[in-house]
Amino acid sequence: MANRKASRAVDIAPRSLAEVRTETVECDLLIIGGGNAGCFVATEAKRLDPSLRVVIMEKAEIMRSGACSAGMDALNTYIPEGKTPEDLVRWSRAQVGGGPLREDLALSNAEELNEAIDDLERWGLPILRDADGKIRYRGKWDISIHGEQLKPIMAEKAIEAGAEVYNRVAGTGLLMDGGRCVGATGLGVRDGAFHVFRAKSVVVSTGGAGTLYKSYTADSTDSGAQIWMCPYCVGSGYAMGFRQGAELSSLEQRWVATRTKDFCGPVDTISVGYKAPIINCKDERVMSRYAHLGGDAAPRFIRANAPMEEWLAGRGPCYCDTRNMAPELVQAMMTDYLNERPSFVLFLASRGQDVTKEAIEIYGSDPYIMGGHTMGGFWVDMQRMTTVPGLFAAGETAGGNPNKFVGGCAAEGKLAARGAIAYMAAGLEKPDEAAVSAQVESEKARVFAPLLRGKDYDGVTPTEMKERLQRLMDEYAGGSSQFYRTNEERLDYALRHIKMLQSQFAYLKAADLHDLMQANETMDRVDVAEAVVHHLKARRETRWAGWQTRSDYPGRDDANFDCFVETRRDPVTGEVTAFTRPYEQLVPGDRFKA
């Protein structure tokens, strides 16, 4: 076991590629991203076969990396006594407006779910129980935890299981051998080395993609990253696979959620956990307008979009009405926030706000691509293998199966580990060494180019290009400033400018290794954004208003779009094509009801 610590940042200014060190590691299973899903891939793989060499390539430091780095206050799904995995799939289906969704994936995940959460409790995660020792449910499926230590608990277990963690190595690309994945490369953001991981199988679990769209909190503030999703999950895993031809599914089903205003913090904590109703400026209960769709239990995208519709209709601002909460409930709610997003408690304190006197304001978030919440991610088979042999995906990075959340991402980590082990057991041919070496050299040149140009080069900084993209996506591809709406012409505009950004990668410059990581992240963002726009263009209907709103096709079109929208990028030409795959209902019942 080893958690290979990074060093302090070094200053390097290589004058040529020859000065950049290449470090190669051979392993059986490579996990890109040691987050929620990645840690479970590692523990499961080592449990099944302790002789496997399992390596995690981690962009940050595994104890506090990714979306769980700040902590967690709830596990949104844990199947209660008397309910079945099929019931959970029915609920998940109804939450996404009847689907389509991958019921095969959803069901297999649901069958693993409780065991994965039981693991977490055995490992030391406090799950709140009542006086009789029964798990305390917050809503129908979600349970409360004191998850401040959730991330270190998962990370410690992955290391204890025997995984080797390479910290501060940011994944940049996949190594391929005749169409199958045989490893990946990474940028050492502290040591300045180019890291090559040769593997028999690879699981990509880099989380979702935040920061593709501008957040309204970035306007005229010193805060460019005050978003709900972890801003360091930028979609690099999607980009790496997409560039090599792996098929992406359902990216148009973006995750947009009602969040606290001016500090993009969680709202389910208040509205679900403490039954604080959503009201508008006239003190009217907003969800009563949606009684025919389930009211407070309406599908998630309806609840997400409802406060924004109030704003549009001139009835904003909207609030979670906390004014009648008892003091002990306020204490419990603040504790929940301290577990998940502690700085929200600081935010309220910096507004001098007593929530029993002044309700908590809410607003829509910027859109994210997150296969653990909504459905955008790689198309995978039951083994969680993408359409590229040898490349598996788990958690937010795997698509088709919404409402996974922490427990589901953990469960899927296990499934991906089993899939990868079965793939390796089938026997693999040795890769063509010359072809792999050539890829290593060309990828190294691509990754380090901005640093070789240097800070004095008359070019473009990573931040400039990121912010250009974020404005473009916000205004043309349905961001929060546009109340999530877009149309064919705006999407075409976005695509034209994305093409221009791609052609300007050649002007990116970096002053140091951190900057170089950001340059590579920005290129990843642009490539993922291109896929998102193609998905939004291809779904010529409005199925999940807010998550996906086409002002030129305002209605649902079941005849043509009760199916999955997919994209694939040609690894040679870079051309993106969109197509559909059929939906199959496996769990019987009314698709719109849980």
We find the least distance from the C-beta atom of residue 159 to another protein, in angstroms, to be: 3
Please list the residues that pair with 196 across neighbouring strands: 24, 185
HEC string of 25-54?
Answer: EEEEEEEECCCHHHHHHHHHHHHHCCCCCE
374 within 8 A of 402, measured Cβ to Cβ: yes
Give least dist CB 510 to another protein, A: 13
146 vs 446, which CB is nearer to another protein?
A: 146
* Minimum distance from residue 236 beta carbon to another protein (Å): 14
- Decide: 196 and 185 in contact? Cβ < 8 Å: yes
First to last CA, the chain: 44
- As measured in angstroms, the least distance from the Cβ of 522 to another protein is 12
Rg, the chain, Cα only: 23
C-beta of 224 vs 317, nearer to another protein: 224
Residue closer to another protein by CB (options 7, 503) is: 7
CA–CA separation, 141 vs 92, rounded Å? 10
Q: Give the phi and the psi of residue 418 in degrees, each rounded to 5.
A: -65, -40
Output the smallest distance, CB 446 to another protein, in A: 20
The least CB distance from residue 473 to another protein, in Å, is 18
Minimum CB distance to another protein smaller for 228 or for 238: 228
Smaller CB distance to another protein: residue 263 or 274? 263
Q: Which is nearer to another protein, 293 or 332 (CB)?
A: 332
Which amino acid, 269? T
Cα(395)–Cα(408) distance, rounded to whole angstroms?
A: 7
- By C-alpha distance, which of 93, 142, 143 is closest to 402? 93
User: Minimum distance between the CB of residue 64 and another protein, rounded to whole angstroms?
Assistant: 4
Residue 72 beta carbon to another protein: minimum distance, rounded to whole angstroms: 11
Q: Is 249 exposed, middle or buried (0-12, 13-18, 19+ CB in 10 A)?
A: buried
Nearest approach, Cβ of residue 169 and another protein (Å): 11
Phi, psi (degrees; rounded to nearest 5) at 413: -60, -45
Q: CB of 418 within 8 A of CB of 115?
A: no
Residue 8 CB, shortest distance to another protein, in Å, is 5
Nearer to another protein, 230 or 416 (CB): 230
H-assigned helices in 224-279:
236-243, 268-271
Q: Comparing C-alpha atoms, which of 351, 373, 360, 88 is closest to residue 210?
A: 373
Nearer to another protein, 47 or 514 (CB): 514
Q: Which is nearer to another protein, 84 or 331 (CB)?
A: 331
Cβ proximity to another protein: between 344 and 476 the closer is 344
| Residue nearer to another protein on the CB measure, 187 or 417 | 187
In angstroms, the Cα distances linking 490 to 425, 496, 528, 536, 546 are 48, 10, 17, 11, 16
Query: 150 — phi, psi (to 5°)?
Result: -50, -50
DSSP 182-206: EEEEEEETTT-PEEEEEEEEEEE--
To another protein, the closest distance from the beta carbon of 355 in angstroms equals 11
Coil, strand or helix at 299: coil
Tokens of 518: 């950001």
Nearest Cα to Cα of residue 394 among 113, 40, 4: 40
The identity of residue 441, as a single letter, is: E
Residues facing 199 on adjacent strands: 27
CB of 593 to another protein, least distance (A): 37
3-state SS of 96-109? CCCCCCCHHHHHHH
Q: Find the shortest distance in angstroms from Cβ 114 to another protein.
A: 18
CA-based nearest residue to 521, from 183, 43, 81, 59: 59
Residues contacting residue 133 through CB under 8 Å, at least 6 positions apart? none
Pick the closer one to another protein by CB: 64 or 499. Answer: 64
Classified as helix, coil or strand, 429 is coil
Residue 151 Cβ vs another protein, minimum distance, rounded to whole Å: 9
Cβ-based nearer residue to another protein, 113 or 155: 155
The one-character DSSP state at 521 is H
Residues forming a β-bridge with 550: 486
Q: Summarize as ranges the residues that interact with another protein (CB under 8 A).
A: 1, 3, 5-9, 59-61, 63-66, 69-70, 121-126, 146-149, 153, 155-157, 159-160, 168, 189-190, 217, 220-227, 230-232, 262-263, 331, 334-335, 338-339, 341-343, 345-353, 514, 517
Nearer to another protein, 44 or 530 (CB): 44
